[in-house]
Amino acid sequence: MLGFRHYSNTPVLFLPMQIVEQIVEMHDWSEAERRQSRRIALIPTMGFLHEGHLCLVRDGKARCDRVVVSIFVNPRQFGPKEDFTTYPRDLARDVRLLEKEGVDILFHPSVEAIYPARAQTHIEVENLSLPLCGAARPGHFRGVATVVAKLFNIVRPHMAVFGEKDYQQLQVIRRMVRDLNMEVEIAGHPIVREADGLALSSRNAYLTPQERGAAVCLSRSLCKADRWFRRGETSGRALLCLVRSELEKEPLAKIEYVKLCHVETLEDIEKVDDAALLALAVQFSKARLIDNRVLRR
């Protein structure tokens, strides 16, 4: 059924969602929309969608005339011992969810389309890619920056929406856009959580029921540190010790890192002045989970 969306002063025809796999077709659609002065929002994903992704979609719909969601499990952001082949996928379910949200285009390219044979070019945001997740996953953010830059070139969005759960990724993309003078507005969306505080993630599907209960320790530890900060604690050492001790109460949780960082450079800091990023990564057998909290006065 056809309908109309109303943004600004011009009604925009709403058509059923299209699934586009070819780069040329995606590019031509975007060019036609741009010629009609319609703003395009892109939500890049790796699929296996959850409510967190759908909140990004709604954010894009509120800001723009057209919404494109990409689903591409990017092999170049997985390490050799990581879960590329087993990463959860369910395209049919994703399509149903996106159709209900009124998405205009699902862009679902093949690996061969994105990375043609003998491709030699990549993008690396050097310093921001090194700490936090970058320390344990060398090359990860090079893969992220490269594929996002390619998606920007193909889709030609006016803006793109990223979740703040992947805070380092968001900062890497923002820096890439600034450094390369890309005409894309980058919007961050607040972390979407379950009722008990666990941040939504596609990798939550790896958790056993027992691990799922234990995983609440991530948000619990961050909330406790935030309370201490609001009561006047500014020592990085004290806040980090608090978070670690809270995580260590869960025997199933293996801490990868707990860091207090500058909100833009991601460099370690020893004391919170106006604002700081408190970030952590924890392994639960098959599931590597991340979470963060910005401590701000």
Judge contact between 30 and 40, C-beta under 8 A: yes
Give pLDDT, residue 14: 56
Buried b (16+ CB within 10 A) or exposed e, 16-49: ebeebeebeebeebbeebeeeebbbbbbbbbbbb
147 and 210 assigned to the same domain:
no
| Catalytic residue of the set 6, 27, 53, 108 | 53
**Phi-psi region for residue 15, left (φ > 0), alpha (ψ -120 to 50) or beta?**
beta
What's the pLDDT tens digit per position in 163-205? 999 999 999 999 999 999 999 999 999 999 999 999 999 999 9
Q: Contact 244/260 with Cβ under 8 angstroms?
A: no
Residues 20 and 136 in one domain: yes
168 and 219 both lie in a single domain: no
Contact 134, 162 (CB under 8 A): no
Q: How far is CA 74 from CA 77, 104, 148, in A?
A: 6, 22, 10
Domain count of the fold of the chain = 2
- pLDDT means per 10 residues, the chain with 297 residues, are 41 76 98 98 98 98 98 96 94 98 98 96 97 96 98 98 98 98 98 98 98 98 98 98 98 98 98 97 97 96
Identify the DSSP state of 17: P
Q: Is 40 helix (H, G, I), strand (E, B) or coil?
A: strand
The question of whether 53 is a catalytic residue gets the answer: yes
- Residue 173 CA to residue 185 CA, distance in Å, equals 10
Instruction: For tokens 């109460």, name the residue.
Output: 249
Tell which of 154, 189, 224 closes a domain: 189
| 284 in Cβ contact with 158 (< 8 Å) | no
Question: What pLDDT does 8 receive?
Answer: 42
Contact 207, 198 (CB under 8 A): no
Indicate the helix (H) or strand (E) that contains 106: strand 105-107
Do residues 13 and 89 both lie within one domain?
yes
Q: Are residues 34 and 67 in the same domain?
A: yes
pLDDT of residue 297: 87
Q: How is the chain split among helix, strand and coil, in percent rounded to 5?
A: 40, 25, 35
Side chain identity at residue 115, one-letter code: Y
pLDDT, tens digit (0-9, with 9 covering 90-100), for 43-83:
999 999 999 999 999 999 999 999 999 999 999 999 988 99
Question: For residues 47 and 202, what is the distance between their CA atoms, to the nearest angstrom?
Answer: 8
Residues 163 and 231 in one domain: no
Could you tell me which residues are beta bridge partners of residue 268? 261
Q: Residue 226's domain spans which residues?
A: 202-296
Q: Quote the radius of gyration of the chain (alpha carbons, Å).
A: 20
Q: With the C-alpha atoms ordered 129, 130, 133, 135, is the resulting torsion angle positive or negative?
A: positive
Question: What CATH number does residue 77 fall under?
Answer: 3.40.50.620
Assessment of whether the complete model's pTM goes beyond 0.85: yes
d(CA 174, CA 182): 10
Of the residues 132, 159, 189, the one at which a domain ends: 189
What pLDDT does 81 receive?
86
Counted residue by residue, the chain has a size of 297
